Amino acid sequence: MTQRSLSSLNWVSQFLEGTPGDEVTGGSPRQVPGACWSRVRPEPMPEPVLRLWSDEVAREIGLEVAEPGLLGGNGLVEGMDPYAQRYGGYQFGNWAGQLGDGRAITLGEVVKGNRVMELQLKGSGKTPYSRFSDGRAVLRSSIREFLCSEAMHHLGVPTTRALSLVTTGEDVIRDVMYDGRPAPEPGAIVCRVAESFIRFGSFEIHSMSGDGRTLRILVDDTVRRHFPGHSSDTDEGLVEWLMEVAARTSQTIAHWMRVGFVHGVMNTDNMSIHGLTIDYGPYGWLEGFEPGWTPNTTDSGTRRYSYGQQAQIGAWNIARLLEAISPLMEDPVRLNGVLDSYYDSYREHSSRMWAEKLGLDEFEEGDGDLVTDLTSNLQLTETDMTIFFRLLSTIDGTDLENLDPAFYDEGEIRSDEWNAWLTRWWDRVDGKPDRGAMLQANPKYVLRNWMAQLAIDAAEKGDYSVAMELYEMLKNPYSEQSEHEEKWFSKRPEWARNRVGCSMLSCSS
């Protein structure tokens, strides 16, 4: 029997059929008013080589073989009708106008069972939305996207997925730290997969240009295809749909807080309408527990998108989405309830996750103080978030010594504050924390910034073994995997403290 390849999948083009698009195919960067998409062709690459592959994602879409050529943008199979999506967005709080898929090209949608999944190449060449850039992606950012999206999935965090990573055989010029020192880097293409890549900004662009007709079509099409059980026909229907979007968004952000993930660029063009984590750029993972930390150097001045700001920014972004949908409402004031529902839903998810992290049977009044005091203790001296919570999940009694490995400098441990907190926590759980829940809420392994960087350093020399090791290990982030403990259940090494790519990332990808 022949193996199922891309050409044997059931390709459809529901987004192209359901929404208005550009009359021109391809073409140079320009404004495309009234359109939700432009047809484009991926640019052929000189030497596509498959480097990373997700068997699981392949299985989900019904694929049995990897075809590096097609996944590197060389050629199409019957049924693919590639396009770039048009969207806008608020970047760092300011309306930025038309953005769109400047370096992402959707090959098409695949139907399998009752699911439809969109396959998109990131880094496959220019589109009408490429603005001033080249439509390419570099190996380093592609490895970061591949590893992190798969790791997030296994952590239980809603996310877009990654099917493959192909190197292109072509160099791409990037000025990593925007300091006037551009250099060639290897190019790569990730094929990513999601229900859709529709963003808050996909709606905003039509609303901001006063195009109520296109907005209406996009909303109706999105709700009908992606939110079964919902309707966009009435104010009530729209409010209920938006409450669902708000609930999913709040849940995903609560998960980010649980695992210590910082997205880094929560612009509204990077907010998925499905509430998925999307667009892995200068993201990072907390090592020391620091609410003000952001890996994104572009944001180092205001720290708008730092770890501790994410829930609030989620609300700000939901508010922009509500404004975008308001022209479709007879009584837009009813949208206020959606923002309230976002906060309620965030509080609910966050409380439940804190209860799980601390092994509480449920989150009760008074537990808020336990959490607040814990988060201030975690900032007394540099303390590794992942190691702290993992050790807390197995700690016997209230012996502070068991937590030593979480602290960077054992000489600096503030025992009084810690002993007081541990005693309180131990009393609260009656000496019987729900360890099962804790071990499922507090991962042992996450994609620490320096771990991704080690995978990149090796890959840039042609060695993908570190990337593969991390990919495999991060499939089971909650299991002990003692063989990995010494190397990867470990605080940030000193070399990574100020290294570009570990503590500092830019949007240059």
Using CB under 6 A, list all residues that contact ligand AMP.
Answer: 99-103, 129-131, 133-136, 265, 269-270, 279, 281, 507
Nearest approach, Cβ of 104 to ligand AMP (angstroms)? 6
Exposed/middle/buried for 229, CB within 10 Å: 0-12, 13-18, 19+?
A: exposed
Question: What are residue 384's DSSP bridge partners?
Answer: 288
Exposed/middle/buried for 166, CB within 10 Å: 0-12, 13-18, 19+?
A: buried
Question: What are residue 99's DSSP bridge partners?
Answer: none
Contact between 85 and Mg ion per CB under 5 A: no
Nearest approach, Cβ of 87 to ligand AMP (angstroms)? 8
Nearer to ligand AMP, 11 or 280 (CB): 280
Applying CB under 5 A, among 279, 287, 356, 384 the residue interacting with Mg ion is 279
- Residue 305 · residue 270 · CB < 8 Å: no
> Which residue's CB comes closest to Mg ion?
279
Question: Interface mask (CB under 5 A) for Mg ion, residues 230-269, using x and -?
Answer: ----------------------------------------
- Residue 134 · residue 509 · CB < 8 Å: no
Q: Of Mg ion, ligand AMP, none, which one sits near residue 48, judging by CB under 5 to 8 A according to partner kind?
A: none
Nearest approach, Cβ of 279 to Mg ion (angstroms)? 4
Q: Of ligand AMP, Mg ion, none, which one sits near residue 100, judging by CB under 5 to 8 A according to partner kind?
A: ligand AMP
Nearest approach, Cβ of 11 to ligand AMP (angstroms)? 24
Residues 6+ apart with CB under 8 A from 284: 261, 262, 264, 293, 294, 295, 296, 449, 503, 505
Number of residues that bind Mg ion (CB under 5 A): 2
Nearer to ligand AMP, 283 or 389 (CB): 283
Of 18, 33, 43, 26, nearest to 109 by C-alpha is 18
> Phi/psi at 153 (nearest 5 deg)?
-55, -45
Q: Of Mg ion, ligand AMP, none, which one sits near residue 124, judging by CB under 5 to 8 A according to partner kind?
A: none
Q: Of Mg ion, ligand AMP, none, which one sits near residue 99, judging by CB under 5 to 8 A according to partner kind?
A: ligand AMP
Strands 161-174 and 183-194: antiparallel
Of 57, 127, 125, nearest to 98 by C-alpha is 127
Nearest approach, Cβ of 102 to ligand AMP (angstroms)? 2
Annotation marks residue 269 as catalytic: yes
The active-site residue out of 22, 101, 269, 384 is: 269
Residues labelled as active-site residues: 269
